[in-house]
Structure 1
Amino acid sequence: MQSEQIMVFFARTAIARLRGAAAMAAAGALAACATIPSHAPPAAAASEEIQILAVNDFHGNIEVPEGTTTYYAGGQPVKAKLGGAARLGATLAHLRQGHSETITVAAGDLVGASPLASAYFLDEPTIMALNRMGLALASVGNHEFDKGIGELKRMQQGGCAVFTQRVPCRLDKPFEGAKFTYLAANVLDGSGKPLFPGTAIRQFGPVRIGFIGMTLKDTGLLTSPAATKGYHFTDEAETANALAAQLKAQGADAVVLLLHQGGQVDPFFSQDACPKLEGDILPILSRLAPDIRLVISGHTHKAYICEVPDANGAPRLLTSGGRYGYFVTDIRLRIDPATDKILSLSAVNDPVSEAAGEEADVRQIVDRYGAVSATVAKRVVGRITGSLAAGENALDTPLARLVADAQLAATRDPARGGAQIGFINSGGVRAGFTTQPDGSVTYGQIFTLQPFGNTLEVLELTGAELKQTLEQQFSDDPSGRFRQSFLIPSQGFTYAFDRSAPVGQRIVAATLYGQPLDPARTYRITVNNFLANGGDGFSNLARAKFVADGGVDLDALEAFIARGATVSPTPRVVDRNPPAPQG
């Protein structure tokens, strides 16, 4: 990295911390969600300062993502192009300079739902890049389980065993596996044994820090049940509290929780603040033991630095570094090892920008895998006719309808299962794209749309069972909100719902080619294996009769487009009682 770049990098970091300190002074007596000050000066010669560098939700973004990102520093908007594994490695290296007691950790979703450059190679280049960045500990997240327990163990242990439809070890044989340690405190088998270690203790001079790593307890709903078969996910706070007590008994001076669950803030990314914190993390924080003074979070893809008092009013630091390697959270913990007293605890989200330069050994990995994936990505698979722009107030998008149509087309032949309806869960359509002027679409575009490598399954249900399945989309409370995702059907099938209707009666219309569903008639539907195994809470599908295997979802989409596809402009999911427009 050039000397001028280094100066700019550190100057920006220093300015951000000064802004954070000024904002804290102005905030004064704010009790919760206060801006955390920039790193405090040493409190005493006998104390020890430990630096903890944290990332979360990297999702295999080894290449620099497209576009710019707006984040807030000292309350002011800043726009920059952020991310990229080589820049992330360089940022970590520079932040470590001058700190003898430092560790790099992560709060889950390092892999899974990744761009082609990583996902095409089963995220092996991401693990290799993180190894070279010096990552030491990482909690599992829900996306670590996307390809099943066997493949996750391969990510940790290395090797070329085959657990998916995709080929492992395409470029590096054998795959080296993670040099860092995955932690999975609340992922237990039937005997109560965790999938990976739940905790780790690291020594920093005279100070011992205990780390707990876990995913959110709802991971079983967000991941295919088949992918987590044999394991269950326990309550976050109960698990953390029990392990914190054990770590303290083992001599830990302080306890840090790496938790793949997070909060919501507005605006999305803050370098040094905590604007309007809410979300699923708050009930967990309220139940955590006082010994857990630092929670490094993730999952929601937000960036924040928050001070949230515990039940006794003592400050607890909550951090998140956004997503895709946009930020490194630089945390400083100063502790008196004689008394186990935390003297200061502060953090700032440092942006990963071009000014950081690039880590050479990480760049080599990115270039090598990126070159191969670029050749794969640019291959034209076919053409699409019609607009892909989402209609105003439409729940189902043209691309989602296209995917559902493709999955039905792949399984409609009696020899392939004789399906009559295809369904795709809204969460299974991961990104949008724009066709070329002639309508052409590349493999890279459809891979980004459906990166999981799911297989298709044809299932058999009665009309009554299918309606019950559609009812499972909604929560049991009066809000009638979607639980996880909703189902988008293929051409010919439409349904309407009313959230205000009683539980179990929210589907007010469902027709196949204009004819209402017959409760007694048998229908064959095509869904991906995630849904077929009860994913997103659709337990009815897990009980349905299996008819046939429909192949890989991405292959079905490619074949459909190759024949020349026309997207439907007409929504197939209708909200009969939509909320009133705001403003």
Structure 2
Amino acid sequence: MSPTSQRRKPATSRVLAVAAGIATVGALAVAVPASASPDTSVAAHGKKSRTVDVQLLSFNDLHGNLEPPTGSSGRVSELQADGTTKTVDAGGVEYLATHLRQAREGNRYSITAAGGDMIGASPLISGLFHDEPTIEALNKLELDVTSVGNHEFDEGAKELARLQNGGCHPAEGCYEDTEFKGAEFPYLAANVTNEKTGRPILDPYFIWKKDGIKIGFIGVTLEGTPNIVSAEGVKGLKFHDEVETINKYTKVLERKGVKSVVALIHEGGSPASSAYNYDCDSPGAGDGISGPVVDIAKNLSPQVDALVTGHTHQAYVCTIDDPAGKPRMVTSAASFGRLYTDTTLTYDRWTGNIVRTAVDSANHVVTRDVPKAQDMTQLVTKWKTLAAPVAGKAVGHISADIPGRGATTPESPLGDLIADAQLEHAKSLDPEADLALMNPGGIRSDLTYAASGSEGDGVVTYGEAYTVQPFSNTVNLLDLTGAQLITALQQQVSGSNAASPKILQISEGLTYTLDMTKSGADRVVVDSIRLNGAAIDPAATYRVAMNNFLAGGGDGFGALAQGTNPLVGSDDLAAFNAYLAAHSSPAAPIAPPAADRITVIK
């Protein structure tokens, strides 16, 4: 066992259709070839014992992070015996491969599964090639099965089908001499159907078989995927309730004689501590975790034996009681390949069930003190070489770290910088542009001062900027009334965002107070909203810049979708790079913005 691990024990097919619609087929089942290692379930008298341990290795939200992530994205927080925390460098597919291979040693029965968002919002080394490098890496990791996440739909169902089945990109062709072979593991999306046919677009479940052992996996993404993905990415698709879908297919598996079920759910929760080894079963089972996964876990059929979750990028190993009042393991391994979870499922050969009281699970840090997996090093080197002419180009200079994804405050310095860049781009299109808004989820990383390669400290490369904003969104201009703008700010903390606020990053000149001691829309102090010192006039019209995701009402900002007089500008990364180039140099780098535009009352 890794010294940086937490162990918890409870108390008691292929793409079947794309948007156009293709008929569904039977669920994919794979008979795993026998291992050369001895069957450790054989008792001394030569007969197989009644129970056998099956290892389940899992991870989630890799997001194409093949190289070790930098900044806060490449660290995990570890709780110490004295109650303090320290950070540990973690992640990188070369190290993840070594850790998984070492974990499998001596385990005749081992399954590797994932909880979605393997691709999408990826660094340049993967994103530049439409995530083919990540699929190749997952094949080498011997991934057996994964659910889809919301980011699997960033480029739409047809592109997801290509990544599953293989073939060259329809616009850019092949990146290598040989045709892309596709994923050697099935993507599951039981709750995603074609709007016209009502049929699943992906196989809903997968059955793992070996030596008479049968374990079913059901994969779903969050029902709210259309609210956090561009409209084009989910066009023609319908997303269904997670609990209803999993319970439906649990019955299907049971009719097929599969009584042991694991749910792969791209939806998650938030533990009370960010430390990966925090005891979220304190003082009682599941008391230290909140969020959507709690209600899902409490309502899933008792026939489901364990939940592998994701989406929130949090680390937890908890037990949450099922509807029958029995504890059930719920896990998540943070994100970006920094952790993996090792769960022992004790399988009863006589009944075909998992012995729930014997389930054991732990999160382990993907430390960087192990040898790199040579095959992964070769893969990373190959794609880095192809990306190098683009990735290494200097686009700007900074004087210190500029936190974005790793910021601990609702307003981040990098969020301010991006919003300012979008406003400057908007003014070049229309001098009447007044302000810019940026969704926090669109900021995928930090800008770090330390060099990531040979470029030198303080140099921002194209690859680093791409990692921050990898979505290729456009910067759009819309007319909004002052009343609509006020409503949009209130939607940050109300409606679908009430439980988990999404605080927009704002351009210079816009200021207001956010009172978190209040609830819902009242958290936004309307009388405090100012633009260049003047109060927002509900009846006036303002020219507002935002990316096309927000312009479509994404992240629950329906008020922004009501904008009129649209004008589409360049992509957001180009706008950001142009701003860095215009406002920095080796002699005069950009300093981190103060992030003082939003006054937060706690």
Structures share fold, TM-score greater than 0.5: yes
Indicate the residue corresponding to 2:345 in structure 1: 333
Aligned-partner Cα distance in 2 for 1:196–1:107: 15
Q: Write out aligned runs for 1:424-439 (5 A).
A: 424-435=438-449
Measured in 2, the distance between the counterparts of 1:484 and 1:321 equals 23
Cα displacement (A) at 1:556: 0.7
Give 1:403's aligned residue.
418
Aligned-partner residue type, residue 61 of structure 1: N
Distance 1:312 1:376, change over 3 A: same
Cα deviation, 1:279-310, whole Å, max 9, x if unaligned, reads: 22111111111100111122233333333332
What corresponds to 1:512 in structure 2? 531
In structure 2, the residue matched to 1:268 is 274
Query: In the alignment, which residue of structure 1 is the partner of 2:571?
Result: 552
Checking the alignment, whether the CA contact within 8 Å between 1:83 and 1:327 is kept in structure 2 is yes
Partner Cα distance (1:88, 1:568) in 2: 33
Q: Which amino acid aligns with 1:514?
A: G
2:127 paired residue among 105, 119, 125: 119
Cα distance in 1, alignment partners of residues 42 and 76 from structure 2: 34
1:308 aligns with 2:316: no
Aligned equivalent of 1:369, options 368, 374, 383:
383
CA–CA separation in structure 2 for the residues paired with 1:162 and 1:509: 50
1:463 alignment partner in structure 2 = 482
CA offsets 1:261-286 (integer angstroms, 9 cap, x no match): 22333543546954543122111111
The CA distance in 2 between the partners of 1:516 and 1:242, in whole Å, is 53
SS of 2:113's equivalent?
strand
Which of 253, 262, 265 aligns to 1:256? It is: 262
Q: Which runs of 4+ in 1 moved over 6 A?
A: 40-44, 73-79, 436-439
Task: Letter of the 1:409 partner, please give it.
Answer: E
Q: How far apart are the structure 1 equivalents of 2:245 and 2:82?
A: 36
Q: Which of 563, 566, 574 lines up with 2:598 in the alignment?
A: 574
**How far is the alpha carbon of 1:560 from its aligned partner?**
1.6
Distance (whole Å) between structure 1 residues aligned to residue 158 and residue 221 of structure 2: 18
Give CA deviations for 1:81-136 in whole Å, capped at 9, x if unaligned: 43221222233233333333332111112122323322233322111110111112
1:369-413 deviations in Å (ceiling 9; x for gaps): 2344455333221346899579x9975333222211211222223
Does the 8 Å CA contact 2:514/2:601 hold for their aligned counterparts?
Answer: no
Alignment of 1:539 onto 2:547: no
For residue 452 of structure 1, give the secondary structure of its aligned residue in structure 2: coil
Secondary structure of 1:213 counterpart = strand
1:240 aligned to 215, 240, 246, which one? 246
Q: 5 Å matches for 1:45-444?
A: 45-66=49-70, 69-71=76-78, 80-162=88-170, 169-171=174-176, 174-190=179-195, 191-270=197-276, 274=280, 276=282, 277-280=288-291, 281-343=293-355, 344-354=358-368, 356-374=370-388, 376-383=390-397, 388=402, 395-414=410-429, 419-435=433-449, 440-444=459-463
The Cα shift of 1:501 comes to: 8.0
**What is the root-mean-square deviation of aligned Cα atoms in Å?**
3.6
Name the CA distance, whole Å, in 1 between partners of 2:110 and 2:87: 29
Contact 1:260 1:297 in 2 (8 A): yes
1:485 correspondence with 2:502: yes
Q: Secondary structure at the match of 1:283?
A: helix
Distance 1:184 1:61 in 2: 22
Letter in 2 for 1:306: C
Match of 1:4 in 2: none
Task: Work out the number of aligned pairs and report it.
Answer: 544
Q: Distance in 2 between the 1:399 and 1:371 partners?
A: 29
**C-alpha displacement at 1:212, in angstroms?**
0.3
Q: Distance in 2 between matches of 1:408 and 1:79?
A: 36
CA displacement at 1:62 relative to structure 2: 1.0
Paired with 1:571 and 1:273, the residues of 2 have a C-alpha distance of 33
Contact 1:428 1:450 in 2 (8 A): yes
Is contact 2:11-2:327 (8 Å) kept?
A: no
SS of the aligned residue for 2:384 comes to helix
| Aligned partner of residue 430 in structure 1, secondary structure | coil
CA contact (8 A) 1:101 1:205 kept: no
Amino acid at match of 2:531: L
Check the 8 A contact 1:148/1:228 in 2, yes or no.
yes
- The one-letter amino acid of 2:208's match is R
SS in 1 for 2:422: helix
Q: Secondary structure at the match of 2:289?
A: coil
CA contact (8 A) 2:265 2:309 kept: yes
TM-score (norm 2): 0.80
Determine whether 1:473 maps to 2:486. no
How far 1:137 moved relative to its partner?
A: 0.7
**How many angstroms apart in 1 are the aligned matches of 2:464 and 2:304?**
43
Compute the TM-score of the two structures, normalised by the length of structure 1: 0.82
Q: 2:30 — aligned with what? A: none
The amino acid that maps onto 1:421 is L
From the superposition, tell whether residues 523 and 304 of structure 1 become closer, same or farther in structure 2 (CA, over 3 Å).
closer
Q: Which residue of 1 aligns with 2:36?
A: none
Classify the secondary structure of the residue corresponding to 2:377.
Answer: helix
Q: Following the alignment from structure 1 to structure 2, what is the Cα–Cα distance between the partners of residues 530 and 249?
A: 42
CA distance in 1, matches of 2:42, 2:320: 23
CA distance in 2, matches of 1:517, 1:284: 41
**3-state SS of the aligned residue for 1:323?**
coil
Paired position in structure 1 for 2:472: 453
Aligned partners of 2:411 and 2:503 also within 8 Å: no
CA gap of 1:438–1:178, structure 2 versus 1, over 3 A, is closer
Structure 1 contact 420–523 (Cα < 8 Å) conserved? yes
Give unpaired runs (5+ residues) of structure 2. 13-39, 283-287, 451-455, 585-589
- 2:35 aligned partner: none
Identical aligned pairs, as a percentage?
A: 36
The answer (yes or no) to whether the contact 2:316–2:333 under 8 Å persists in 1 is: yes
**Matched position secondary structure for 2:232:** helix
* Distance of aligned partners of 1:278 and 1:495 in 2 relative to their CA distance in 1, 3 Å threshold: same
1:423 is displaced (CA, Å) by: 1.5
Rate the CA distance shift 1:471–1:169 in 2: closer, same or farther, 3 A. Answer: farther
| Distance in structure 1 (CA, Å) of the matches to 2:105 and 2:400 | 54
CA distance in 1, matches of 2:319, 2:411: 39
Query: How far apart are residue 549 of structure 1 and its match?
Result: 1.4
Does the Cα contact within 8 Å between 1:417 and 1:550 map onto a contact in 2? no
Gaps of 5+ in 1: 1-11, 32-39
Contact 1:417 1:548 in 2 (8 A): no
